[in-house]
Chain A
């Protein structure tokens, strides 16, 4: 009788032998340890995480802290130009950047569905690690739970982030001034159309890739160049139109936007025409609007053009004292209309 191993309550399979996520991977036992060590630590490792403590600990300097969190539920998990992992890292970095903060550290919480392929998990985690490395913002603490099959969509990720806002910087809606200009950092709608194209198996003229990217470098460059940024907002779900409406309401100002000045690339525009979607409401993951003093428009655009993530930055409009908090669009044919919040999701039309 071989007595080489004692009885183990946890599933005895080593991680390398399990091709899918199992409930025991979230059970706190050996399998979970193997998942943490073999997948997460291997990909994310950094001194703070490697200390295997319950949380991350670091000294604080004087200044203002920024703190944000976001959850990512994306279908499909992989799309042209990105995946749920890089999105979860960039998205939270961008939320910090939009506060004018320098992002410091991220946390990552995973909710995995039983049966998820280990290969897929690895790809997602590696993509997160890569995104965090590129951005220079380490993931220093995390958590994993496994839910029954059918109770999740493969993988859900929550990321939270902490950053520091430099002294003297006050980037927030209430800093918007009545004569500010509105800039957009790049062409709109690529992320939404890229996701739709793989989700629904649609092909359009020309390749459309997600614009998912971290924006903190460009923001810090703007601040360091002496641009007096009054407000920033990343253009995620709901697109440009929703972001402008939210800001107009928060700042109690009116805005006039020039439709002809809003950059939308040809394949995105074509796809939107075809599906009856308005690119101004389509999601982005690497674009933002900036409210800056009118006399700094050219300087700000020049800074943006230095960065690859700002693709086709443009001056698209101005604040107005008319009818706050209305956002008015001057159409390409020269008429005016309200650019309102959308009531729900945009649904593709019939003909």
Chain B
């Protein structure tokens, strides 16, 4: 973690900001895909260092935010079943479904455990053979290998009281969906460094060329983000369209072959509904049929069958926020009817959510004290 200080150096930040100011001549709109980058931008006020004609648009890169209401409802239903230990990452617990959230289930006596790694959940299954351990497998390409490993190990060890409710999503199809939309105004992307650590950036090359948008793979520290922006605006001003890699200390073009192969062994692409956005083909993962035993939706089909389709709160504009069409403070409910204590949508409660970032770091107006 020595990186942290190196990538938060004030003099370097100022120099990068100067470089960006000198480069930018025309107005540009660029999107950071990843919620971690959104938080770095808002938390460190990086946008205040940028020239006014450079617009940063926040993207759909928060797996918690894009998990559909129906899936949250399914999680709530499974977590409420007697005999089930329901495992989830912490920030899913407050996300509202149409029948409450997982915290509500916990308060009502449901056995919900916050886990830090899929293998912890497998360990729970091993230690509680008389219970059913169900895991909410949420995340981008980054967390998929760990879930795939857990399933592989469960199979090897013959553990059967372990299953996944899968909400996994993939980044490139979402980027394409945004670019293909008639409302699109994005001219360049900062791609998510963590995702590319696993997947590499080969797949981005076709997207860049097809839609004529430069893409820079970027890390999460404030200086990473500033440098990524500097690289992107250079491409834009010079009229180049390439995929460049700012996050070289962690990302290679091919990615992590081992991680990719374990994902390929266990999962296959599937169509997925993104909260607030709708269905995007091949933008999610599902278990291959040889792993059906570990599919919670099949295992608990009778319990889940009675669920109606989840409905999002009609007031929540999270779909627009996640597509970069609306900034959180411009949502009429922001900070009034929607707060982290009483959220209407997931972006207000996820630790990577754009609405949460603005509420937490900007709630009382931006200022230059």
Contacts and interface: CB of A to CB of B under 8 A. Distances in A.
Say whether chain B's binding surface is mostly helix, strand, loop, or mixed.
Answer: loop
B13 A333 contact: yes
A205 B2 CA distance: 11
Contact of B45 (A266, A331, A340, A342): A331
Contact of A347 (B14, B91, B194): B91
A335 B4 contact: no
Interface stretch (B138-146, B264-272, B285-293): B138-146
A212 B120 CA distance: 28
Given A347-B91, A350-B89, A273 B362 contact: no
Contact of B341 (A326, A343, A348): A343
Given A201-B120, A333-B10, A333-B222, A338 B364 contact: yes
Sorting the interface of chain A by its residue count into under 10, 10 to 19, 20 to 34 or 35 or more gives 35 or more
Interface in B242-294: none
A307 interface: no
A348 B369 contact: no
Given A205-B1, A276-B351, A350-B63, A326 B44 contact: no
B93 A336 contact: no
A259 to B, nearest CB: 9
Nearest to B143: A351
Contacts of A202: 116
Given A347-B93, A348-B90, A335 B49 contact: yes
B89 A338 contact: no
B43 interface: yes
A256 interface: yes
B360 interface: yes
Interface of A: 200-202, 205, 256, 260, 266, 269-270, 273-276, 320, 322-323, 326, 328, 330-338, 340, 342-344, 346-351
Contacts of B361: 337-338, 340
Given A269-B4, A333-B44, A335-B48, A347 B368 contact: no
B64 interface: yes
B1 A269 contact: yes
Contacts of A343: 339-341
Given A273-B4, A331-B44, A336-B45, A351 B142 contact: yes
A270 to B, nearest CB: 3
B114 interface: yes
Contacts of B364: 323, 326, 338, 340
B208 interface: no
Please indicate which of the listed interface residues A202, A335, A336 has the most CB atoms of chain B within 10 Å of its own CB. A335
10 contacts: A269-B4, A323-B364, A328-B369, A332-B222, A336-B45, A343-B340, A344-B341, A347-B91, A350-B352, A351-B139
Contacts of B13: 333-334
